[in-house]
């Protein structure tokens, strides 16, 4: 059946995918969550624990960093990954942005 | 006054007075209306089908912009591109949560499963973000000033801001008790999971 053709990626495509992953590892992206005076501290901590699976200690520390420093890098990874996380944060009502890692340390 | 949301053996329950349900339904409806895209009649139906909004631009209304924020602080083109591909589904997801929460208000006593609680949490958050923008809450000091407006008898009939502040504080209170209940439910779930999990017990 002709359908089986589609299950094997072409060698060129595999190579391209691999190199894209490598590049993402070399230049990771950061997900930044910004402070706002509206969202409850308990809610932000809840989101960090349930969405990212962070421990209560880590979630609280990140939440306090957002609160006191105005922003916190809560995740790092490939661009696609942190963009997906940014959408999730926006859906939770948190303001999140993505940036190249190292822009602000 | 009893907490509107509580966690118990059966899960998270919520209970409201008729006037509160009416108020919440109105707030949810208003935010849904804000989120509805102003569809151009000549919109590409295929783009709509796959969730792309080719003309998506940063909202002018600051409240809507807070609900649908930019994804980059310094790259406008990246923000626009991201918006084109994600804004429509974000609008729909938020509106869906608000509608689900409104539907739950049809009964006076609610029992929220995990999904329903999540809908309520985002619905209340979005209502608070919009009210906060209308009230000009931009700093912690603003938030504290609004927080001090607690007495309905202090509010003159034509004082819209004071009325909004009371509504905001009411929704904040709901959100506080809901997040507490969700946190307790989450802790209970995860500690149950540990007990039943494939831990090292029995493997000496």
Mean per-residue pLDDT pooled into runs of 10, chain A (105 residues): 42 43 65 97 98 97 97 96 97 97 64
State the burial class of residue A30 (Cβ atoms within 10 Å of its Cβ: 0-12, 13-18, 19+): buried
Range of the domain at A32: 28-100
Distance CA A75, CA A59 (A): 11
Residue (of A102, A98, A91, A56) closest to A74 by Cα position: A98
Q: Which two tokens stand for residue B13?
A: 């329950």
pLDDT at B180: 97
Judged by CB atoms closer than 8 Å, whether chains meet at B129 and A90 is answered as no
Q: Does residue A20 lie in a domain region?
A: no
Nearest CB partner across the interface for A97, out of B67, B73, B180: B73
pLDDT at B193: 60
Residue (of B178, B188, B151, B166) closest to B13 by Cα position: B178
- Antiparallel, parallel or unpaired: β B5-8 and A96-100: unpaired
pLDDT at B92: 94
pLDDT at A67: 95
pLDDT at A6: 41
Report the CATH number at residue A67.
Answer: 3.30.1390.10
Count CB-CB contacts under 10 A for residue B92: 14
Judged by CB atoms closer than 8 Å, whether chains meet at A97 and B143 is answered as no
Nearest CB partner across the interface for A87, out of B70, B90, B128: B90
Contacts of B121 in chain A (CB under 8 A): 43, 46, 92
Contacts of B175 in chain A (CB under 8 A): 40, 43
Give the chain A residue nearest B92 (alpha carbons): A91
pLDDT at A2: 40
The tens-digit pLDDT sequence of chain B (204 residues) is 668 999 999 999 999 999 999 999 999 999 999 999 766 556 677 777 667 777 788 999 999 999 999 999 999 999 999 999 999 999 999 999 999 999 999 988 899 999 999 999 999 999 999 999 999 999 999 999 999 887 777 777 788 889 999 999 999 999 999 999 999 999 998 887 655 444 444 434
pLDDT at B69: 97
Calculate ∠ Cα B74-B79-B85, nearest 5°.
165
Q: Does residue A56 lie in a domain region?
A: yes
Into how many domains does chain A fold? 1
pLDDT at A16: 43
pLDDT at B42: 64
Q: Residue B11 in 3-state DSSP?
A: strand
Q: Does residue A4 lie in a domain region?
A: no
Contacts of A98 in chain B (CB under 8 A): 71-72
pLDDT at B57: 86
Judged by CB atoms closer than 8 Å, whether chains meet at A92 and B186 is answered as no
pLDDT at B114: 93
């Amino acid at each position: 059946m002709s359908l089986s053709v589609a299950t094997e990626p072409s060698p060129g495509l595999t190579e391209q995918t691999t190199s894209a992953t490598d590049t993402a590892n070399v230049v990771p992206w950061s997900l930044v969550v910004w402070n706002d005076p509206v969202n409850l501290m308990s809610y932000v901590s809840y989101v960090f624990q349930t969405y990212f699976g962070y421990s209560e200690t880590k979630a609280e520390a990140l939440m306090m960093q957002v609160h006191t420093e105005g922003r916190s890098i809560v995740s790092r990874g490939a661009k696609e990954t942190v963009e997906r996380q940014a959408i999730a944060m926006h859906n939770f009502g948190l303001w999140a942005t993505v940036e190249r890692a190292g822009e602000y340390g | 006054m009893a907490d509107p949301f509580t966690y118990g053996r059966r899960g998270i329950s919520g209970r409201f007075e008729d006037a509160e349900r009416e108020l919440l339904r109105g707030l949810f409806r208003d935010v849904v209306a804000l989120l509805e895209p102003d569809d151009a009649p000549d919109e590409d139906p295929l783009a709509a089908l796959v969730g792309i909004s080719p003309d998506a631009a940063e909202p002018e209304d600051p409240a809507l912009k807070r609900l649908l924020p930019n994804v980059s602080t310094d790259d406008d083109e990246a923000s626009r591109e991201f918006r084109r591909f994600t804004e429509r589904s974000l609008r729909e997801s938020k509106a869906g949560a608000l509608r689900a929460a409104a539907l739950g208000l049809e009964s006076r006593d609610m029992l929220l499963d995990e999904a329903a609680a999540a809908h309520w949490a985002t619905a209340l958050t979005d209502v608070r973000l919009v009210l906060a923008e209308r009230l000009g809450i931009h700093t912690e000091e603003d938030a504290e000033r609004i927080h001090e407006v607690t007495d309905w008898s202090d509010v003159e009939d034509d004082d819209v801001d004071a009325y909004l502040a009371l509504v905001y504080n009411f929704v904040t209170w709901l959100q506080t008790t809901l997040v507490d209940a969700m946190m307790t439910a989450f802790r209970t779930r995860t500690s149950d999971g540990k007990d039943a999990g494939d831990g090292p017990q029995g493997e000496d």
